[in-house]
Structure 1
Amino acid sequence: MTILEIENLIARHGLLTAVQEVSLTVGRGEVLGVVGANGAGKTTLFRTISGVHPMTSGTIALEGQSIAGLTASRRVAAGIAMVPEGRRLFSDMTVRENLQVAGENGRIGSWNLDSVLGAFPALKPLLRVPAGGLSGGQRQSVAIGRALMSNPLVLLLDEVSLGLSPVAVEELYQSLGALKSARETTMIVVEQDLDRAMAFSDRIVCMLEGRVALEGAPSALGKSAITDAYFGLGREMADA
């Protein structure tokens, strides 16, 4: 069952068209991996879906209802939550406060402080610690937990492992793996590590210059085809 449907989405930064006629459908409980080089339009796509960046044209529907005209805060209430690149926590607030502030502005559902701490148990002893004093991995866990506190239908994770140590990445993906297994939250994940993106995602979308260059199940596409699409090699060969 489709939970998120995007058709012919266009978003610009001034004269630059960062997202060019992107169409996507995402099923309930699915994990969609989004890959592409820097400047491919991944973050702008996420920001446009979440309402942080204005769309130029196209449609965005959540559970069959258009959310294109909703503000970012109303999209959170409708069921869209984004974990932005860089985490963007409230550094002077404690971990508990960062989590609770999201719970006050989201949907009613099964995610609350206890369930988030169950998913990220390493945060339990850190509840009274200001977020500014956390490690990168801890901050990312808080950022994801904060998004879950809004009880999203669709969770957008932008550059989920960027800047984290290998140990922190492994721990983070163990928690995300549990979320995936539960199939209660649809996830769209931007991941710079292609191998990890392929292993974690049910389906991969590769973006190139604002467009969808390739889409499909990782096992069906294969790493070689995804890598070629990532760098635009297939298009160069076709143009030659």
Structure 2
Amino acid sequence: MLELQDVHVGYGRTDVIHGVSLTVPKDGVAAVMGHNGAGKTTLLRAAVGLLKVRSGRVLLDGEDVTRLAPNQRVARGLAYVPQGQQSFGQLTTAENLQLVADGRARGTELIGEALDLFPALKGLLSRKAGLLSGGQRQQLAIARALITEPRMLILDEPTEGIQPSVVAEIEQTILDLTSRGGLSVLLVEQHVGFALGAASVYCVLASGRISSSGAGGAGAAVDVLSAMAI
């Protein structure tokens, strides 16, 4: 669903990503892991179009979108949930969801589907998003992204700073969504157990280069931890 081919990305004169190639399978999950500063978020921002690719290509469902603006990629079915449980803090949970649903033919239905995926939000619809816990804000951020009906969902550190019970809920939701078909996920994550539990393929970034890659699952944990220890 998403392919990065020999991608180079940087800031100013400094390259941060050096010739990275990865593929997100259709209806599957790919995880990118690595320490802080490895280039994970930079890679995602290039995939979304928030950073220009200096060389290489970005393909979305076979279409070259390397030169397309972020909104054009969104229109083609890409959704991005950045790091930090972002929401409009002064708006209620319901207003945050409605803001995305407005103008969509199935807006009300899509809100209902998102709330079915994250039932904890149903009792928080009148609460301002800024008063939610970190885990609740993360669920809200993912729910908002899903209302856009993406084919390709990109998540940056979805488990950062949230309680283990919510981590498990988010992992199960990702697996449920991809098992239905029609959605692929690119996941950047430092929580190795979560990443490998959700992903069918993975890669480890170190200094902007892939140091290890392979099939996901618990059996890959030793290889991933060894790569991250280098």
Q: 2:141 aligns with which of 140, 143, 168?
A: 143
Structure 1: stretches of 5+ with no match in the other structure: 233-240
Q: Separation in 1 of the partners of 2:11 and 2:190? A: 23
For residues 152-195 of structure 1, give each alpha carbon's deviation from its aligned partner in whole angstroms, at most 9, with x where no partner exists: 11101110100011222223223223223323310111121112
Quote the residue 1:224 is aligned against: 222
Cα separation, partners in 2 of 1:130 and 1:95, compared to 1, 3 Å: same
Q: AA paired with 2:150?
A: P
Q: Separation in 2 of the partners of 1:25 and 1:40? A: 19
* TM, length-normalised to structure 1: 0.88
Cα separation, partners in 2 of 1:100 and 1:181, compared to 1, 3 Å: same
Spell out the pairing of 1:1-240 with structure 2 (5 A cutoff).
3-104=1-102, 112-219=110-217, 222-232=220-230
Q: Separation in 2 of the partners of 1:24 and 1:48? A: 13
Of 36-45 and 102-111, deviating more is: 102-111
SS at match of 1:112: helix
Q: Separation in 2 of the partners of 1:109 and 1:185? A: 19
Q: AA paired with 1:196?
A: F
Contact 2:101 2:108 in 1 (8 A): no
SS at match of 2:195: helix
SS at match of 2:211: strand
Of 118-127 and 216-225, deviating more is: 216-225
Count of residue correspondences: 230
Q: How far did 1:215 drift? A: 1.3
Contact 1:106 1:149 in 2 (8 A): no
Q: How far did 1:105 drift? A: 7.8
Q: AA paired with 2:53?
A: M
Structure 2: stretches of 5+ with no match in the other structure: none
Contact 1:37 1:231 in 2 (8 A): no
Q: How far did 1:101 drift? A: 2.5
For residues 44-67 of structure 1, give each alpha carbon's deviation from its aligned partner in whole angstroms, at most 9, with x where no partner exists: 111111112222121111111111
Q: Separation in 2 of the partners of 1:123 and 1:15? A: 44
Contact 1:9 1:58 in 2 (8 A): yes
Q: Separation in 2 of the partners of 1:14 and 1:152? A: 32
Contact 2:199 2:217 in 1 (8 A): no
Q: How far did 1:35 drift? A: 0.6
Q: Separation in 2 of the partners of 1:126 and 1:148? A: 18
SS at match of 1:205: strand
SS at match of 2:162: coil
Q: Separation in 2 of the partners of 1:72 and 1:173? A: 26
Q: Separation in 1 of the partners of 2:36 and 2:200? A: 23
RMSD after superposition? 2.2
Cα separation, partners in 2 of 1:190 and 1:105, compared to 1, 3 Å: farther
Q: Separation in 1 of the partners of 2:218 and 2:120? A: 36
Cα separation, partners in 2 of 1:227 and 1:93, compared to 1, 3 Å: same
* TM, length-normalised to structure 2: 0.91
Moved over 6 A (4+): 105-111
